[in-house]
Structure 1
Amino acid sequence: MIKLIKPYISFDEVESDFKKIFDSGYFTKGVFVEKFRNEIASYTGAKYAYLTTSATTALSISLKAVGVGSGDEVIVSDFSFPATANVVEDLGAIPIFADVDFDTFNMLPESLASKISKKTKAVIFVDALGNPSGIHKISEICKEKGIPLIEDAACAIGSSEFGVKCGNIADITCFSFHPRKLLTTGEGGAITFNDSKMVDFFDVKLNHGSKFENNKFNFIDYGYNYRMSELQAAMGIVQIKKIDDIVALRNKMRKQFAKQLELYGFEIQKVSEGAIHNVQSLVFKVPKNIIRDKLIAYLKNIGIESTIGTYCLSGTSYYSKKYNAVQKNALYLQEQTITLPCYNDLDVLFVCDKIKEFS
């Protein structure tokens, strides 16, 4: 099977660090976690970084950090994995779905502007499939309105716009290190931000609500265990050094795929001027004469893994029934996009030839 992605890490790269961790007996809250935190902050340019168990927990705690609660409205990009809206729903808040650009797949500024109300407590911008195009424009709107911007950068480690890395643009940024990401720790995530006023909140909330005072832990609030382990952090440290090289390689492959498939009517996800897409996922809109799901099934039968782009959140069974606010562009993209394999030793021409045979 030709897989969608292969991890950019081998056991040999972490074996010695794993041995150090086992020998030390410290599997959490140790030197590797602290080092990886610092590496994330340094790489993104953010002042502060915290590690979490996933991007989902990162998003959830970040919403709490900006005061989102029951009855509040949070405007979310409508083309994303359901976790983006689920964390809003879980807090008793109301996800307001903003439609996305037909070409970049990212939140439309005009859709955002039309959804802002007196109840809007936050905005979640999603770097769709790793693409940061348009985030600065969204940030400008949020600043004008005094609304906190949370970036769901689950897919966007290594992406940037106008020379600024994802992680250093929004008020709070949340990353994922799931196995399908360019940097994986098995599961895991991170939060980055620049506002020193939020440090105490995350220090306490991410450590069961405790604060170390007078040589003892004092539980001053309720909190959570969203901590990453030492083993996971060791994996992350190895990979973050490679991210820029990985992004360059995947962009080279993106051009190769586009050159082949655009001749047959496939339209690649667009990247706006000034943006660098990490190509977390290589996604095309399929020609109108092709039934996307039949193409996915065909590729599977010949040993090539592919999948849909991602989901129209407002069109899922749960959210469409509850809110009846399906967004047109996001729904179209859910039905007409395909994610193709992309990794360093992939035979691009072979995959493209097979797609051409189906076309």
Structure 2
Amino acid sequence: MIKLIKPYISFDEVQNEFKDIFDSGWFTKGKYVEVFRNEIKKYTGAKHAYLTTSATTALTMALKALDIKNGDEVIVSDFSFPATANVVEDLGAIPVFADVSLKTYNMLPFELENKITSKTKAVIYVDALGNPGGVTEIKDLCEKYNLPLIEDAACSIGSSENGIKCGNIADITCFSFHPRKLLTTGEGGAVTFNNESFVEFFEVKLNHGAKVENGKFDFVDYGYNYRLPELQAVMGIKQFQKIDSIVDSRNKIRDEYVNKLSEIGFKIQVINSNVVHNVQSLVFIVPENVNRDDLVKYLRENGIEGTIGTYCLSGTSYYKNKYNSVQSNAMYLENNTITLPCYDDVDVNFISDKIKSYGE
């Protein structure tokens, strides 16, 4: 099976550091975690970075840092993985779904403005499939209405808008290092921000509520163990050393696909000229005469992994039944987008030829 993605990391790259960790017996809260944190800060330009167990826990902590409570409304990009809305729901807050562009797949500014009420306490903007296009405009709107902006950058490490890296645009940014991501630690995530007022919150909350004062260790609050272990941090460090070359490579592969498939009606996700896209996922809208689900099945029968772009959150059974607010563009994208394999040695010609032979 030709997979959607292969990890950009091998055991040979990490074995010396892994041995160092095993020899020391220091598996958590050690030097490699600190190095990884510093790499994230250096790369994104953010003043502060904290590692977490996933983007889901990162998003949860971001909402808690903003003191989102039961009954508060949080406006959410509707084309995303369910975790984006689940973290809002879990706190007893209300996810309000904003529809997205059929070109960039990102939150539409007028949709955001139309959804703001007196109960709105925050906005979660999703960089759809690693594309941050439009986040700066959304940030400006959030500032206009005095709303904090969380950037769900689960897919967008390595991406940027207007020359500013994801991680240094929104009030709080959350990353994922899941195996489907181009920088993976197996599982894992990170939170970045510049606001000094958040520092103590994350220091305490991510350490079981503990604080050290005058050499005394005390639990001054309740907290969590959402920490990333040392072994996983090593994996992240190694991939950061080559992240820009990974992004460049994936964009070249994207161009190859576009040259092959645009002539038969496949429409690639639009990336604005002021955006660097990491091509986290290579996603097309299929032609009108193509049944996306049948095409995915056909490709898998021919040894090629394919899947949907991602989900219309408001159209999933849980959120549809509870809120009955399905967004039309997001639903169209869920039903008509396909993700194709993208990594260094993928055979674009073979996959494109198989797609062209579909229906023959």
User: Same fold per TM (> 0.5)?
Assistant: yes
1:293-332 correspondence runs (5 A): 293-332=293-332
Shift of 1:216: 2.3
Shift of 1:67: 1.1
Residue matched to 2:158: 158
Q: How far does the alpha carbon of each residue in 1:273-328 deviate from its partner, in whole angstroms, 9 at most, with x for none? A: 20111000000000010100000000000100010000000000000000000000
Amino acid at match of 2:254: R
Residue matched to 1:137: 137
Amino acid at match of 1:300: R
Residue matched to 2:17: 17
1:26-41 correspondence runs (5 A): 26-41=26-41
TM-score (norm 1): 0.99
What is the alpha-carbon distance in structure 1 between the residues aligned to residue 153 and residue 292 of structure 2? 26
What is the alpha-carbon distance in structure 2 between the residues aligned to residue 216 and residue 288 of structure 1? 66
1:176-191 correspondence runs (5 A): 176-191=176-191
What is the alpha-carbon distance in structure 2 between the residues aligned to residue 182 and residue 298 of structure 1? 26
Aligned residues: 359
What is the alpha-carbon distance in structure 2 between the residues aligned to residue 256 and residue 302 of structure 1? 20
Residue matched to 1:265: 265
Amino acid at match of 1:275: V
Shift of 1:39: 0.4
Residue matched to 1:46: 46
Shift of 1:214: 2.4
1:173-252 correspondence runs (5 A): 173-252=173-252
1:36-185 correspondence runs (5 A): 36-185=36-185
Q: How far does the alpha carbon of each residue in 1:42-82 deviate from its partner, in whole angstroms, 9 at most, with x for none? A: 00000000000000000001001011010000000000000
What is the alpha-carbon distance in structure 2 between the residues aligned to residue 142 and residue 220 of structure 1? 33
Amino acid at match of 2:56: T
Q: SS where residue 122 of structure 2 aligns?
A: strand
What is the alpha-carbon distance in structure 1 between the residues aligned to residue 314 and residue 161 of structure 2? 27
Percent identity between matched residues is 69
What is the alpha-carbon distance in structure 1 between the residues aligned to residue 209 and residue 306 of structure 2? 42
TM-score (norm 2): 0.99
Shift of 1:108: 0.2
**Structure 2: unaligned runs, 5 residues or longer:** none
Q: SS where residue 34 of structure 1 aligns?
A: helix
What is the alpha-carbon distance in structure 1 between the residues aligned to residue 221 and residue 146 of structure 2? 27
Question: RMSD of the TM alignment (CA)?
Answer: 0.5
Amino acid at match of 2:192: T
**Structure 1: unaligned runs, 5 residues or longer:** none
Q: Does 1:274 align with 2:274?
A: yes
What is the alpha-carbon distance in structure 2 between the residues aligned to residue 273 and residue 224 of structure 1? 41
Q: How far does the alpha carbon of each residue in 1:132-181 deviate from its partner, in whole angstroms, 9 at most, with x for none? A: 10000000000111100000000000000000000000000000000000
Q: SS where residue 288 of structure 1 aligns?
A: coil
Shift of 1:213: 1.4
Q: SS where residue 18 of structure 1 aligns?
A: helix
Amino acid at match of 1:152: D
Q: How far does the alpha carbon of each residue in 1:96-116 deviate from its partner, in whole angstroms, 9 at most, with x for none? A: 000000100000000000001
What is the alpha-carbon distance in structure 1 between the residues aligned to residue 150 and residue 222 of structure 2? 23
Amino acid at match of 1:320: K
Residue matched to 2:6: 6
Shift of 1:215: 1.7
